Copies of this chain bind each other. A is one copy, B any other.
Amino acid sequence: MTLNVALFGAGRIGKVHAASIKSDPRAQLVAVTDVMEQAAAELASEHGIAVRSADEILNDRSIDVILIASSTNTHADLIERGIAAGKAVFCEKPIDLDLERARKVVASVSAAGKPVMMGFNRRFDPNFSTLKAAYDAGDIGKGELLAVTSYDPAPPPVGYIKVSGGLFRDMMIHDFDICCWLFGMPETLSATGSCLVDPAIGEAGDIDTAVVVLTYADGRIATIRNSRRAVYGYDQRLELLGADGLLSVENQLETTVRKATTSGVTSAKPQLFFLERYMRAYEIEWGAFLDALIADAPMPATVQDGVNALALAEAANISLREGRPVTITAELTGVAK
Protein backbone atom coordinates (compact mmCIF):
# COMPACT_ATOMS: atom_id res chain seq x y z
CA MET A 1 0.00 0.00 0.00
CA THR A 2 1.27 3.41 -0.93
CA LEU A 3 -0.03 6.44 0.92
CA ASN A 4 -1.41 9.27 -1.21
CA VAL A 5 -0.14 12.66 -0.16
CA ALA A 6 -1.40 16.14 -1.01
CA LEU A 7 0.81 19.14 -0.54
CA PHE A 8 -0.44 22.50 0.71
CA GLY A 9 2.03 25.16 -0.37
CA ALA A 10 4.31 25.17 -3.42
CA GLY A 11 6.89 27.65 -2.16
CA ARG A 12 10.50 27.03 -1.18
CA ILE A 13 9.78 24.69 1.71
CA GLY A 14 6.95 22.99 -0.21
CA LYS A 15 9.42 22.07 -2.94
CA VAL A 16 11.78 20.60 -0.36
CA HIS A 17 9.04 18.38 0.99
CA ALA A 18 7.89 17.37 -2.49
CA ALA A 19 11.42 16.15 -3.18
CA SER A 20 11.57 14.30 0.14
CA ILE A 21 8.31 12.49 -0.60
CA LYS A 22 9.94 11.05 -3.72
CA SER A 23 12.74 9.56 -1.66
CA ASP A 24 10.49 7.07 0.14
CA PRO A 25 8.41 4.60 -1.89
CA ARG A 26 5.86 4.16 0.89
CA ALA A 27 4.07 7.34 -0.15
CA GLN A 28 3.47 9.28 -3.34
CA LEU A 29 2.60 12.86 -3.99
CA VAL A 30 -0.71 13.08 -5.87
CA ALA A 31 -1.85 16.69 -5.60
CA VAL A 32 -0.73 20.21 -4.74
CA THR A 33 -2.59 23.37 -3.86
CA ASP A 34 -1.38 26.93 -3.42
CA VAL A 35 -3.00 30.35 -3.55
CA MET A 36 -0.18 31.26 -5.90
CA GLU A 37 -1.53 29.43 -8.96
CA GLN A 38 1.69 29.74 -10.94
CA ALA A 39 3.77 28.14 -8.17
CA ALA A 40 1.27 25.30 -7.82
CA ALA A 41 1.25 24.72 -11.59
CA GLU A 42 5.03 24.59 -11.80
CA LEU A 43 5.41 22.17 -8.94
CA ALA A 44 2.59 20.02 -10.32
CA SER A 45 4.22 19.93 -13.73
CA GLU A 46 7.61 19.00 -12.36
CA HIS A 47 6.17 16.13 -10.36
CA GLY A 48 3.53 15.05 -12.88
CA ILE A 49 0.65 15.62 -10.46
CA ALA A 50 -2.57 17.62 -10.40
CA VAL A 51 -3.26 21.09 -9.03
CA ARG A 52 -6.41 20.94 -6.95
CA SER A 53 -8.23 23.19 -4.55
CA ALA A 54 -7.91 22.77 -0.80
CA ASP A 55 -11.54 21.67 -0.60
CA GLU A 56 -11.11 19.06 -3.29
CA ILE A 57 -8.15 17.63 -1.49
CA LEU A 58 -9.83 17.52 1.88
CA ASN A 59 -12.94 15.90 0.38
CA ASP A 60 -10.99 13.30 -1.59
CA ARG A 61 -11.11 10.11 0.44
CA SER A 62 -8.28 8.57 -1.58
CA ILE A 63 -5.89 11.10 -0.09
CA ASP A 64 -4.37 9.74 3.10
CA VAL A 65 -2.01 12.48 4.17
CA ILE A 66 -1.83 16.23 3.89
CA LEU A 67 1.49 17.97 4.16
CA ILE A 68 1.07 21.60 5.24
CA ALA A 69 3.81 23.87 3.94
CA SER A 70 1.68 26.93 3.32
CA SER A 71 1.98 30.26 5.16
CA THR A 72 2.00 30.17 8.97
CA ASN A 73 -1.41 31.78 9.40
CA THR A 74 -3.05 28.81 7.64
CA HIS A 75 -1.43 26.05 9.70
CA ALA A 76 -3.87 25.79 12.63
CA ASP A 77 -6.98 25.76 10.45
CA LEU A 78 -5.53 23.26 8.01
CA ILE A 79 -4.45 20.88 10.77
CA GLU A 80 -7.95 20.95 12.20
CA ARG A 81 -9.63 20.59 8.81
CA GLY A 82 -7.26 17.79 7.89
CA ILE A 83 -7.89 15.68 10.95
CA ALA A 84 -11.62 16.41 10.69
CA ALA A 85 -11.44 14.98 7.16
CA GLY A 86 -9.78 11.88 8.58
CA LYS A 87 -6.35 12.51 7.24
CA ALA A 88 -2.93 12.17 8.77
CA VAL A 89 -1.18 15.53 8.89
CA PHE A 90 2.41 16.66 8.59
CA CYS A 91 2.72 20.37 9.34
CA GLU A 92 5.65 22.75 9.10
CA LYS A 93 6.40 24.65 12.29
CA PRO A 94 4.92 26.69 13.93
CA ILE A 95 1.35 25.64 14.63
CA ASP A 96 0.40 29.30 14.92
CA LEU A 97 1.99 32.52 16.09
CA ASP A 98 -0.66 32.72 18.80
CA LEU A 99 0.01 30.40 21.69
CA GLU A 100 -3.61 30.06 22.74
CA ARG A 101 -4.63 29.11 19.22
CA ALA A 102 -1.86 26.51 19.17
CA ARG A 103 -3.04 25.03 22.45
CA LYS A 104 -6.50 24.65 20.94
CA VAL A 105 -5.01 22.69 18.07
CA VAL A 106 -3.45 20.31 20.58
CA ALA A 107 -6.89 19.77 22.08
CA SER A 108 -8.42 19.19 18.65
CA VAL A 109 -5.74 16.71 17.71
CA SER A 110 -6.09 14.92 21.01
CA ALA A 111 -9.86 14.66 20.52
CA ALA A 112 -9.62 13.46 16.93
CA GLY A 113 -6.97 10.85 17.64
CA LYS A 114 -5.43 11.27 14.22
CA PRO A 115 -1.66 11.27 13.72
CA VAL A 116 -0.17 14.76 13.39
CA MET A 117 3.53 15.57 13.16
CA MET A 118 5.26 18.93 13.42
CA GLY A 119 8.20 19.53 11.10
CA PHE A 120 11.04 20.14 13.53
CA ASN A 121 13.61 19.14 10.96
CA ARG A 122 16.71 19.47 13.11
CA ARG A 123 15.76 16.49 15.23
CA PHE A 124 16.39 14.38 12.12
CA ASP A 125 19.72 15.85 11.10
CA PRO A 126 22.16 12.92 11.32
CA ASN A 127 24.57 15.02 13.39
CA PHE A 128 22.03 16.07 15.98
CA SER A 129 20.37 12.68 16.16
CA THR A 130 23.74 10.95 16.55
CA LEU A 131 24.55 13.31 19.42
CA LYS A 132 21.20 12.56 21.06
CA ALA A 133 21.67 8.82 20.65
CA ALA A 134 25.10 9.04 22.29
CA TYR A 135 23.68 11.16 25.12
CA ASP A 136 20.74 8.82 25.63
CA ALA A 137 23.17 5.89 25.67
CA GLY A 138 24.94 7.51 28.60
CA ASP A 139 28.18 8.28 26.77
CA ILE A 140 28.74 11.47 28.74
CA GLY A 141 26.71 10.70 31.83
CA LYS A 142 24.19 13.14 33.28
CA GLY A 143 23.78 16.34 31.25
CA GLU A 144 24.81 19.63 32.83
CA LEU A 145 25.33 22.46 30.36
CA LEU A 146 23.76 22.66 26.92
CA ALA A 147 24.76 25.36 24.44
CA VAL A 148 23.07 25.92 21.09
CA THR A 149 24.63 28.22 18.52
CA SER A 150 22.38 29.10 15.60
CA TYR A 151 23.26 31.92 13.26
CA ASP A 152 21.66 32.55 9.88
CA PRO A 153 23.97 33.59 7.07
CA ALA A 154 22.04 36.81 6.38
CA PRO A 155 18.84 38.43 7.64
CA PRO A 156 15.62 37.95 5.69
CA PRO A 157 13.91 40.97 4.09
CA VAL A 158 12.28 43.31 6.61
CA GLY A 159 8.95 42.57 4.93
CA TYR A 160 9.34 38.98 6.08
CA ILE A 161 10.47 40.03 9.56
CA LYS A 162 7.22 41.99 10.00
CA VAL A 163 5.01 38.92 9.52
CA SER A 164 7.41 36.39 11.04
CA GLY A 165 6.23 36.67 14.62
CA GLY A 166 9.67 37.90 15.65
CA LEU A 167 13.03 36.23 16.16
CA PHE A 168 11.94 34.05 19.08
CA ARG A 169 8.91 32.52 17.28
CA ASP A 170 10.44 32.45 13.81
CA MET A 171 14.11 31.55 14.30
CA MET A 172 14.88 30.55 17.87
CA ILE A 173 11.83 28.26 17.94
CA HIS A 174 14.03 25.57 16.36
CA ASP A 175 16.56 25.96 19.15
CA PHE A 176 13.85 25.92 21.82
CA ASP A 177 12.70 22.65 20.35
CA ILE A 178 16.22 21.23 20.40
CA CYS A 179 16.54 22.14 24.08
CA CYS A 180 13.17 20.53 24.88
CA TRP A 181 14.15 17.47 22.85
CA LEU A 182 17.38 17.01 24.79
CA PHE A 183 16.57 18.45 28.22
CA GLY A 184 12.76 18.65 28.47
CA MET A 185 10.83 21.72 29.61
CA PRO A 186 12.80 24.28 31.63
CA GLU A 187 11.80 25.93 34.86
CA THR A 188 12.84 29.47 34.01
CA LEU A 189 13.85 31.44 30.94
CA SER A 190 15.87 34.67 30.69
CA ALA A 191 16.14 36.47 27.37
CA THR A 192 18.26 39.32 26.17
CA GLY A 193 18.37 40.72 22.66
CA SER A 194 19.64 43.52 20.49
CA CYS A 195 19.37 44.94 17.04
CA LEU A 196 22.93 44.92 15.74
CA VAL A 197 22.63 43.60 12.20
CA ASP A 198 20.09 45.84 10.48
CA PRO A 199 18.47 48.95 12.01
CA ALA A 200 15.38 48.33 9.87
CA ILE A 201 14.76 45.17 11.89
CA GLY A 202 14.76 47.25 15.05
CA GLU A 203 12.41 49.77 13.47
CA ALA A 204 10.08 46.86 12.69
CA GLY A 205 10.03 46.12 16.42
CA ASP A 206 12.20 43.03 16.30
CA ILE A 207 15.71 42.03 17.35
CA ASP A 208 18.37 40.27 15.28
CA THR A 209 20.77 39.11 17.99
CA ALA A 210 19.69 37.26 21.10
CA VAL A 211 20.84 35.12 23.99
CA VAL A 212 18.46 33.01 26.05
CA VAL A 213 19.30 31.07 29.22
CA LEU A 214 17.08 28.20 30.36
CA THR A 215 17.32 26.65 33.82
CA TYR A 216 15.96 23.27 34.80
CA ALA A 217 14.54 22.03 38.07
CA ASP A 218 17.52 19.76 38.67
CA GLY A 219 20.11 22.47 38.08
CA ARG A 220 20.92 21.90 34.41
CA ILE A 221 21.39 25.05 32.35
CA ALA A 222 20.98 25.65 28.61
CA THR A 223 22.04 28.67 26.56
CA ILE A 224 20.92 29.61 23.07
CA ARG A 225 22.70 32.19 20.93
CA ASN A 226 21.06 33.52 17.78
CA SER A 227 22.17 36.01 15.18
CA ARG A 228 20.52 36.82 11.90
CA ARG A 229 23.94 37.21 10.30
CA ALA A 230 27.08 35.11 10.16
CA VAL A 231 28.83 36.21 6.98
CA TYR A 232 30.76 32.93 6.80
CA GLY A 233 27.61 30.81 6.40
CA TYR A 234 24.89 29.04 8.32
CA ASP A 235 26.35 28.34 11.75
CA GLN A 236 24.57 25.41 13.40
CA ARG A 237 26.41 23.98 16.35
CA LEU A 238 25.55 22.41 19.66
CA GLU A 239 27.49 21.24 22.64
CA LEU A 240 26.48 19.35 25.71
CA LEU A 241 28.65 18.99 28.79
CA GLY A 242 27.93 16.01 30.98
CA ALA A 243 29.43 14.46 34.07
CA ASP A 244 31.55 12.15 31.92
CA GLY A 245 32.39 14.28 28.89
CA LEU A 246 31.34 16.65 26.18
CA LEU A 247 29.35 15.93 23.03
CA SER A 248 29.30 18.45 20.23
CA VAL A 249 27.99 18.93 16.72
CA GLU A 250 30.27 20.98 14.48
CA ASN A 251 29.28 22.66 11.23
CA GLN A 252 29.16 20.78 7.95
CA LEU A 253 31.58 22.44 5.56
CA GLU A 254 31.05 22.96 1.84
CA THR A 255 34.07 20.83 0.97
CA THR A 256 36.96 19.15 2.76
CA VAL A 257 39.55 21.12 0.80
CA ARG A 258 42.25 22.94 2.75
CA LYS A 259 44.73 25.45 1.46
CA ALA A 260 47.93 26.25 3.34
CA THR A 261 49.74 29.40 2.26
CA THR A 262 51.75 32.15 3.88
CA SER A 263 48.40 33.44 5.22
CA GLY A 264 47.55 30.30 7.20
CA VAL A 265 45.50 27.18 6.59
CA THR A 266 42.09 27.86 5.09
CA SER A 267 39.16 25.44 5.13
CA ALA A 268 35.79 25.78 3.43
CA LYS A 269 32.89 27.66 4.96
CA PRO A 270 29.89 26.02 6.60
CA GLN A 271 27.20 25.03 4.13
CA LEU A 272 25.32 28.16 3.26
CA PHE A 273 21.81 27.71 4.57
CA PHE A 274 19.16 25.29 5.71
CA LEU A 275 18.42 23.78 2.30
CA GLU A 276 22.04 22.61 2.05
CA ARG A 277 22.59 21.94 5.75
CA TYR A 278 19.36 20.06 6.43
CA MET A 279 18.67 18.41 3.05
CA ARG A 280 19.20 14.98 4.54
CA ALA A 281 17.23 15.90 7.65
CA TYR A 282 14.13 16.64 5.57
CA GLU A 283 14.29 13.23 3.94
CA ILE A 284 14.83 11.40 7.22
CA GLU A 285 12.05 13.44 8.83
CA TRP A 286 9.60 12.31 6.15
CA GLY A 287 10.64 8.70 6.60
CA ALA A 288 10.14 9.00 10.37
CA PHE A 289 6.62 10.32 9.78
CA LEU A 290 5.86 7.36 7.53
CA ASP A 291 7.30 5.03 10.17
CA ALA A 292 4.82 6.48 12.65
CA LEU A 293 1.91 6.12 10.22
CA ILE A 294 2.76 2.68 8.89
CA ALA A 295 5.06 0.95 11.34
CA ASP A 296 3.51 2.17 14.57
CA ALA A 297 6.65 4.01 15.59
CA PRO A 298 5.98 6.82 18.08
CA MET A 299 5.26 10.20 16.51
CA PRO A 300 8.69 11.85 16.70
CA ALA A 301 7.49 15.49 16.98
CA THR A 302 3.99 16.22 18.16
CA VAL A 303 1.72 19.24 18.29
CA GLN A 304 2.46 19.40 22.01
CA ASP A 305 6.12 19.74 21.06
CA GLY A 306 5.01 22.60 18.84
CA VAL A 307 3.17 24.25 21.73
CA ASN A 308 6.13 23.77 24.05
CA ALA A 309 8.54 25.55 21.71
CA LEU A 310 6.01 28.30 21.15
CA ALA A 311 5.49 28.72 24.90
CA LEU A 312 9.23 29.28 25.33
CA ALA A 313 9.15 31.87 22.56
CA GLU A 314 6.28 33.58 24.34
CA ALA A 315 8.22 33.51 27.60
CA ALA A 316 11.27 34.93 25.81
CA ASN A 317 9.22 37.85 24.55
CA ILE A 318 7.97 38.54 28.08
CA SER A 319 11.46 38.23 29.53
CA LEU A 320 12.95 40.56 26.94
CA ARG A 321 10.16 43.13 27.39
CA GLU A 322 10.22 43.09 31.18
CA GLY A 323 13.93 42.52 31.75
CA ARG A 324 13.47 39.62 34.14
CA PRO A 325 13.53 35.83 34.24
CA VAL A 326 10.18 34.20 33.46
CA THR A 327 8.95 31.04 35.13
CA ILE A 328 7.64 28.44 32.69
CA THR A 329 4.21 27.48 34.00
CA ALA A 330 1.59 24.96 33.04
CA GLU A 331 -0.51 27.92 31.94
CA LEU A 332 1.99 28.64 29.22
CA THR A 333 2.24 25.12 27.89
CA GLY A 334 -1.28 23.95 28.60
CA VAL A 335 -0.06 20.86 30.45
CA ALA A 336 1.01 20.16 33.96
CA LYS A 337 4.76 19.62 33.98
Known A192-B215, A192-B221, A213-B211: A257·B246 in contact at CB below 8 Å: no
Interface residue? A262 (CB, 8 A): yes
Confirm or deny: A251 has a beta carbon within 8 angstroms of a beta carbon on chain B: yes
A251 cross-chain contacts in B, Cβ below 8 A? 256
Q: Which of A273-310 contact B (CB under 8 A)?
A: none
Q: Is the CB of A261 within 8 A of B221?
A: no
Binding site for B on A (CB under 8 A): 25, 46, 126-127, 130-131, 134, 139-140, 142, 144-145, 147, 149, 151, 190, 192, 194-197, 209-211, 213, 215, 219-221, 223, 225, 227, 229-233, 235, 241, 243-270, 323-325
Using Cβ atoms and an 8 Å threshold, which residues of chain B touch A254?
126
CA distance A203 to B231 in the complex (A): 46
Task: State whether A263 touches B262 (Cβ < 8 A).
Answer: no
Tell me if A231 and B261 are in contact (CB < 8 A). yes
Whether A264 lies near B260 (C-beta < 8 A) is no
Per the bound structure, the CA–CA distance linking A174 and B323 in Å amounts to 27
A266 to B247, alpha carbons, bound, how many Å?
10
Complex-state Cα separation, A202 to B180, whole angstroms: 27
What are 22 A-to-B residue pairs whose CB atoms are below 8 Å?
A: A126-B254, A126-B255, A127-B257, A134-B259, A140-B261, A145-B227, A196-B243, A211-B221, A230-B260, A231-B245, A232-B261, A232-B262, A235-B246, A245-B261, A246-B259, A247-B257, A248-B260, A250-B256, A253-B265, A260-B270, A265-B267, A324-B325
Q: Which residue of B lies closest to A141 (CB)?
A: B231
- Smallest beta-carbon distance A198→chain B, Å: 11
Min CB–CB distance A102 → chain B (angstroms):
28
Whether the Cβ atoms of B260 and A269 lie closer than 8 Å is yes
Return A145 CB to nearest CB of chain B, in Å.
6
| Residues of chain B lying within 8 A (CB to CB) of residue A220 | 194, 196
Task: Say whether B247 contacts A144, CB under 8 Å.
Answer: no
A246 contacts B232, C-beta separation under 8 Å: yes
Give the complex CA separation of A253 and B144 in angstroms: 23
Contacts A190-B213, A248-B258 known; 4 new A-B pairs at CB < 8 A: A144-B197, A232-B261, A245-B262, A265-B267
Once bound together, how far apart are the Cα atoms of A192 and B267, in whole Å?
A: 31
Shortest A121–chain B CB gap in Å is 16
A269, B259: Cβ atoms closer than 8 Å: no
Closest to A269 in B: B264
A145 / chain B contacts, CB cutoff of 8 Å: 209, 211, 225, 227
Query: Which chain B positions have C-beta within 8 A of A263?
Result: 266
A12 to chain B, nearest CB (A): 19
Name the B residues within 8 Å of A257 (CB-CB): 127, 130-131, 134, 247-250
Give every chain B residue within 8 A of A269 (Cβ-Cβ).
260, 262, 264-265
Q: Which of B194, B231, B233 contacts A244 (CB 8 A)?
A: B231
The listed residue (B221, B232, B260) touching A194 by CB distance below 8 A is: B221
B246 touches A144 (CB 8 A): no
Chain B residues within an 8 Å CB radius of A233 = 260
- With A255-B130, A267-B265 as known contacts, state yes or no: A245 contacts B232, CB within 8 Å: yes
| Residue of A139, A255, A257, A323 contacting most chain B CB atoms (<10 Å) | A257
